[in-house]
Structures are given as structure tokens and as C-alpha cells.
Amino acid sequence: MSSGWLRGVVKEVPSGDTLVISATVKSGVPPEKRITLSSLIAPKLGLRDGSRNDEPFAYQSREFLRSLCIGQPCVFRVEHKIEAAGNREFGSVFLGQQRNVAVEVASNGWARVKFASAAAIEAKEVSPYYDALQQAESEAKALELGLWTRDPTASEESVRDLRDLDASAFFLGLGKGARFVATVEQVLSGSTLRLGVRDPVEAVQSAVQSQDPPSSVFLYGSVLVHVSGVQAPSMTRPGTSSLPLRGGHSGPAWGSTPAGGGVGGGVVSSGADTESSISNAVESLSINPSNSNSTTTTTTTTTTTTTTIPTSIPTSDPFAREAKFLTETHALNRDVRLIAEGLDRNGNLYVTVLTPALPPRPTPSAGQGEGGEGVEVVRDGDGYANLAEMLLKKGLAKCVESGLGLLSTPGAGLKYREWERLGRDSRQGVWVNFAGVNGAVNGAVNGVANGPAKGTWIRGRVVEVSSGDCLVIRPFAPTPTTTTTTTTASEKRIQLSSIRAPRPPTRNAPQGEPWGYEARELLRKTAVGKWVEARVEYCRSVPLSPEDASATRQLVFANVEVLAPEEQIQVDVTGQWPASPAPSTTAITPNRIHLAELVLKKGLAQTVRHRTDEERSALYDHLQAVEEVARSSRIGLSAKQAPPTPRINDLSQAGAAKAKLHLPFLQRSGRIMGVVDFVLSAQRVKLFVPKEGVLIAFAPSGVKTPTRAMPAQGGKPATQAEAYAEEAYAFSRELLNQRDVEVVIEDMDRGGTFLGSLKVLGGGGGGGGRGGGRQERQEQGERRDFAVELLRNGFAKIQPYVDPMALANGAEMVQAERSAKEARKRIFEN
């Protein structure tokens, strides 16, 4: 017959004579028992609602038992139950199968030994170790320990002034980033705790909610806190459940018959057990974590009874009980170290919780369950580890953006995201069925059909920057010939992953958003005309208009890097993409410019606050750290004042009469620096002149390019595209769009378009300029004449009524047209 001794771990110490012991299981949330030490009476603790105050030495008694037992492996036995006391179970508990907990309490004077009446002895409601308890109590009295002290002031000073604290006032008394120590008195969920705090005294006193002046002798505050940066599943969802046991576990009750014999049956006489007999009698209880029925057989040392357990209790979110148990295992009734992080808009206090290392646990055969770490965690020199790390790595919590923003430790958000990723990749806990809302299915990416798959590399030249977070790339074509043609249809619009820059001025919104112009200019000067490498991270479908949600367009988000200078030269000269260094998916390639990092570093963009289940940049944590540095430097979007809104006079839409008023000023200016704002056709562009603050339409003098197709409008019939019209437009767009240029204004036509010469600054080239003839023009600082480039590549011809020698660059134009005719390039092929 079994001895009735069971093995477990002390999970909670509610008072100086009561323990909550959880079983050791191989998986799942274990059952637990609330055991009151037989034949002992400890002083009662007060209640938070003020309906009962502490009895003298109640707190000290509980603290002694807590420091002695919490988290310790133990063996115990239920010896009797009193129905009149709500079926409270009484028994004996041994630590390490050697130290009798009740005797330890009595010998230190923190509890009284009950008088053993004849009725109690007859009902077997007396501890089998009653004689040892009496002897221990006598020794404590003689030494005036604990309750038996003769100090007249000790009794009064031992009573706590128990108060609820206002979380906001408590935080203000502490200050952000303040470190303090507290005892976890209650675990409401995996990420919500109730603390008992005594220090710092000033912060506790300032946060007392009631109007009564706090006691200066023993003020003990109670405050509700949340683990910053994470949220565990909720324990408070209303409903019904078949989970019958305290703590919300779904396992069977203690006392279920183990394999090989019953749990109870061994009646032990007073003082009969020795250390060796306890060791030999302990049952290695193996518990099946599956759900039990509502009727459970429970065996005690004297009788076998059948107890019906009610099944109507509130339900909880999936894995809420596992998260709560993990937090209870590591934090409940323990002295934890905390960092005050901040308050949310509702006044809830968020903290970082550092828990001490667990004592040695029972043997692996008994299992450690979800309460054990089960994962590698980082501990400081004192053995403390971050509770959030355990929850995230076990998949029992998710990161919360608002909480991550409160963290005071630099770079902490990066670690939290990495811990969450490890938990998500392990597919355990709340991630057990996670497939990723943005996963590719049936050839679609993130639910977007025909989109580039995640991880696809897009390599090419930047031909346009739409904003501080959006650019257009023309894909790279290996080793093009002099007759290779391209069109704008192949261009890829790319959004920079996980960042958002302010919107720049547009025709429909001339003012734009503050810093939008500066963000676009930074990206334009850095990337336009440069070879870049983009790795697709995710895609999104967005409606084309708020009125019609069915019509959508695809946005492609990627990490984009500008190739290093030597790589730019290699592509231009050889026409081959560099094979090394190998592109990395989680780090920035050395010597390259990561565009998202660049914009964030200048304070001209913000990282997107993604939902937990959203795809994001592989460098998201790094980008957040860069953003934080810019924010702390008070630059860009974090500056105290926004930049002045650029004032631009658009003469390209004002008509010929108004444009003609500016012609004399522009002619007298000689060489004018400008930026090509938009390529209207193969030879006509919209040019921004910063010095004058005007937008003008401009075309090179003396050349004509093929005309693109035009729809019927204004009473004019539709026209067909001439040969090579689209290719000529693509060439001009790649050569000129958003480039810094130098122009000389000579005249104006009757439509209001200014005429003259235009030279492109810098080493970037057009589509036909890479390869054979590009090497001799590679020097930085070159000025490439636009009209000459059109003629040389067979995209234009000199107008018949123009005398080219009257133009400043006429000789070059004649030579360029002659070479294109001889090579039969494009429009000269016939």
C-alpha cells in the first residue's frame, strides 16, 4: 500500500502556516494543493480592503515561511481534512525529505502549536510530529523568539499599514528608469502582477490612495503593474469552462491514483517516520496533463472519498494558464528587481521584471512543466533574468509596440523583437498554429497575386524618387549592345521597408508635409542615377481610391542599398553585376548606403509601428535604434521648428505670356543650375531653377525626337506613335529625370517652352550609355550635353531649318548625328 507521500514544488506561501504546492509534470500546467501545516496556528494577515488588519507578527511569520520554502522541492502528505473549514486540508511538508517545515516554523517562534484535545486525537486531526512541535515551541519560548518576544514595542511595530497605491503617483515618486525591489504578491496573468512594496519609502508614502495619513512605522503598499513591452493572453474572458482546479489548470486533482498503487493508505503514528522512511516512501507521481472529468477520486491517509468539483468558472484565452503559471513559477512570492518604465494613457504602470534564478528542481523524470525555463535566458551577475524574455521565447506573450516604446534601456526593443521571433519560429504557445498573414500562397505574396516573392532581388538603376520612402528602379540588363532599347514599362516602383517619410509637395498638394521636400531631396541626391540592389521583404494591396475598394494596386516593400563607388564603376565599365560581396538579408553590406537607414539617420522618416503578425524589414530593430538616435539628437522631424515651405512659381502651366516675363532674367543669368523635375517627352522636360524659385518647360535647341502616341483631345485627332518614340522617352527619362543639370537659356517658343542647351552633371548615364563607349566618359564631374546624347544614340535628328553651326554646341551635334547615321542606329536604321 502507498505511503501517501507526494513530491512537488512550493509555488506560493499565503500565510505563516499555509503552502500552495504544485505537482511536477512533464508538460502542461500542473495541479496544485493548498496545505495547512498540521497542529500549527500562525497569525492571520490583513486584507487589502481594510476589513481585517494584520495580527501581530503575521507578516513576519509569512516572510519566514516564504524565504524558507518558496520555489523549493518538497515532499508532503495530507493527514486530515476539516469539512467545517471548507474542506481545508492539513498535512506535513518536508524540504529535501529531511527538514520538517512545521518544526522549523515552531522552533523560530513564528507560530503556535494547537492544543491537542481528546476529540482531535480521536479524529486523527493531530500532526504525527506533535511531540517534536511542542518541543520546538518550548525552545522558542525560552529564547524569546518571534511571537514570544518580550519587547513591548515589537508587537505594535510588526503590524503593517497596508495601503493600495496609486500607480501614477508611485511612478512619479520613483522616476523613469528607477530601479526598486518588491515582492510579487499576486499573479493575475502572465504579464500582470500585484506587488507588495516598502521601499523607497518616499514613493510609497506619496502614492497612498486613502486620505488617512500613512503610518511611519510599517507602511506596506500594494500596486498593480504590467510587464512592459509584452502582453500575455488574458485570464479574464467571461464564459464557462471545465477547468476545476485552483490556478486555472486543466490537469487532474492531486491524489489521482498513480500507476502501481494508490496514493493514500499509510497511517503513520506520532513520531514514527524517520528521514530514511520518508525518502523511501515518496511516490514519484506521474500525472497525465490531459483534461480530467469533473468527478475526481481523492484518497487521504484514512479514507477514500469522491468529490464533485464545480465546472462553471471564467474561461481564458488559449495559453493564458500556461503564461500565468510560468510567471507564477518565476515570480510569485519572490523578491524581484524592477525598472519603472512608464505609464500609459490610462495610468497603468509598466515595469521591467527581473526574476531570480530558480532553486534546483526535481529530477527530469518528474518533468519541469511549462514553469521551467525550457529555453536559454540571459542572466546578470546576480542570477536575475528578464521575465519578458522567458514569456516571449516560450511563445506565451507577444510584443506590444506601445510598451516597447516605454523601455528605458537603449536597444531593449531590439532584444524583445528577437526573443519574439525565436518564440514564433519555434511554433509553440500562441504561435503554435501561426502561418504568417503575409505568407506566400499559390504564387501570391501577402495575398497579392503576381507579386515578386519575398526574398526576390531587384537590381537596377534608380530613375526617380517619388518621396523620402519611395523610388523607381529600372532593372539591370547585362552587357547591353549599342542598339539595345528599353521602355518605362519595365520600371519597378519600390517602397522602403518599414519606414514612412513625410509626403513631399505635389500638384494636388503644393504645400506637402513638413520635411517632405527635404526627405525627397536627400534620397534624390543619394540614389538617382546610381545602381542599387533591393531585396523584397513584403507586398501590400491598397485601394486605388476610397470610393472603390475593389480596384487595388500593389506596393512592393524592400531593403534598398546603393552599390559602393567601385561597384558602380564595375557595372558601368564591364556591364556585369558585381558578384561579391554577397548580399546579406539581415545586415547592411559594408561600403554601401542603406537608404532607409540614411533617411532615418537624418531624422527625415519614422519607422512603421507594425502589428505583431505583420511582415517587416529584416533590419527593423536596427532601423528603430537609428530612429531613436535621431530623435534624441532633435534633428529633422524631432526638431523644434519645421523648415520653411519652399515657394515655387510654376511657369510651365502659366502660359507663354507669363513665362516670357522671366525670359530676360534667365537669359542674362548665363549658366543656370537646375534640377529636372519631370521628363515630359523625349526632348521636353520640366526644370526647377532653385535660384529663381521657378518651374519652367525646357527643350534643347535644334533637335527633334520621335513623337509619342497622343489621344484625341481639344478637337484634335489621336496620333500614332512614331518609331522608337517610347525608347527615346525611356532614354531621356533615365538620363535626365531628377538629375542636377546646367542650362543656358537662349530663347522661348510660342508655347512657353524655353530653348537652349542642357548638360547633365555627374557620371550617371542613360540606358544606351553603358558598355563600350562609357569608359572614356566615366570621370566624375563630367558634363554630358543632352542634345548630343540624343543624336549620338539615334534618338533625334537636327531640325532641317536650323543652322547647327549657329549653336554653341553645333559642331558636336553634327558629328554625333553623322556617327549615328553611319552606325544606322535606331531612327537612322533605314
Q: What's the pLDDT score for residue 705?
A: 95
Least confident of 232-241, 282-291, 795-804: 282-291
pLDDT at 764: 53
Question: What pLDDT score does 184 carry?
Answer: 95
Three-class secondary structure of residue 156 per DSSP:
helix
Cell of 253: 486533482
Q: Which own/partner pairs from 639-646 qualify as long-range (CB within 8 Å, at least 24 positions apart)?
A: 639/603, 642/514, 642/515, 643/514, 643/515, 643/517, 643/518, 645/505, 645/511, 645/512, 645/514, 645/517, 646/505, 646/517, 646/693
Q: How many CB atoms lie within 10 A of CB 680?
A: 16
Structure confidence at residue 655 as a pLDDT band (50, 70, 90): confident
Query: Which residues lie closer than 8 Å to 73 by C-beta, 6 or more apart?
Result: 7, 8, 9, 24, 95, 96, 359, 360, 361, 362
Query: CA-CA distance, 326 to 187, in Å (whole number)?
Result: 10
pLDDT at 244 over 70: no
Q: Does pLDDT of 457 surpass 60?
A: yes
Low-confidence winner among 133-137, 335-339, 476-480, 824-828 (lowest mean pLDDT) = 476-480
Sign of CA dihedral 547, 550, 553, 554: positive
Which of residues 508 and 149 earns the better pLDDT score?
Answer: 149
pLDDT of residue 338: 94
**Mean pLDDT, residues 456-475 taken together:** 93
Residue 243 backbone dihedrals phi, psi, to 5 degrees: -100, 100
Task: Check whether 675 has a pLDDT greater than 90.
Answer: yes
- Where residue 582 falls among pLDDT bands split at 50, 70, 90? low
Residue 410 vs residue 754, higher pLDDT: 754
Q: What confidence score (pLDDT) does residue 278 get?
A: 59
385, β-bridge pairs: 355, 379
Residue 397 reports pLDDT greater than 90: yes
Q: Using 50, 70 and 90 to split pLDDT, how confident is the model at 74?
A: very high
Query: Is residue 754 predicted with pLDDT exceeding 70?
Result: yes
Q: How confident is the model over 631-658, as a mean pLDDT?
A: 86
Q: How many angstroms separate the CA atoms of 527 and 760, rounded?
A: 16
Comparing 24-38, 347-361, 568-582, 770-784, the range with the smallest average pLDDT is 770-784
Model confidence at 360, pLDDT cuts 50, 70, 90, reads: confident
- Higher pLDDT, residue 238 or 361: 361
* Confidence at 217, pLDDT banded by 50, 70, 90: low
What pLDDT does 441 receive? Answer: 32
Residue 547 has pLDDT above 80, yes or no: no
Query: Taking a C-beta distance cutoff of 8 angstroms, is the pair 216, 197 a contact?
Result: no
What is the reported pLDDT for 17?
94
Residues facing 94 on adjacent strands: 75, 100
Average pLDDT of the segment spanning 453-479: 89
Give the SS3 label for residue 354: strand
Grid cell locating 413: 526593443
pLDDT confidence of residue 746: 92
Cα distance between residue 311 and residue 614, in whole Å = 38
Largest Cα separation within the chain, whole Å, is 131
Looking at residue 555, its pLDDT comes to 92
Lowest mean pLDDT among 104-108, 208-212, 330-334: 208-212
Q: How confident is the model at residue 487 (pLDDT cuts 50, 70, 90)?
A: low
Q: Report the candidate in 611, 432, 618 with the shortest Cα–Cα distance to residue 538.
A: 618
Mean of the pLDDT values across residues 460-475?
A: 94
Mean pLDDT, to the nearest integer, of 113-129? 86
Sign of CA dihedral 274, 275, 280, 283: positive
Compare 361 and 267 and report the one with higher pLDDT: 361
What is the grid cell recorded at 123?
Answer: 479524529
User: For 303-329, what is each residue's pLDDT tens digit?
Assistant: 333 344 444 455 788 999 999 999 999
Q: How confident is the model at residue 368 (pLDDT cuts 50, 70, 90)?
A: very low
Which segment, 225-234, 283-292, 399-408, is predicted with the most confidence on average? 225-234
Q: With bands split at pLDDT 50, 70 and 90, how would you rate the model's confidence at 455?
A: confident
The secondary structure of 12-38 as a DSSP string is EEEETTEEEEE---SSSPPPEEEEEET
What is the pTM for the complete model shown?
Answer: 0.62
pLDDT at 211 > cutoff 60: no
Q: Average pLDDT over the chain, rounded to whole?
A: 81
Q: With 90 as the cut, is the pLDDT of residue 759 above it?
A: yes
Residue 299 has a pLDDT of 37
Tell how far CA 15 is from the center of its chain: 40
pLDDT at position 51? 84
Asked if the model's pLDDT at residue 185 lies above 70, the reply is: yes
Q: Rounded mean pLDDT of 75-88?
A: 87
Residues 687 and 674 sit within 8 Å (Cβ to Cβ):
yes
pLDDT at site 521: 93
CA dist., res. 607 & res. 626, Å (int): 10
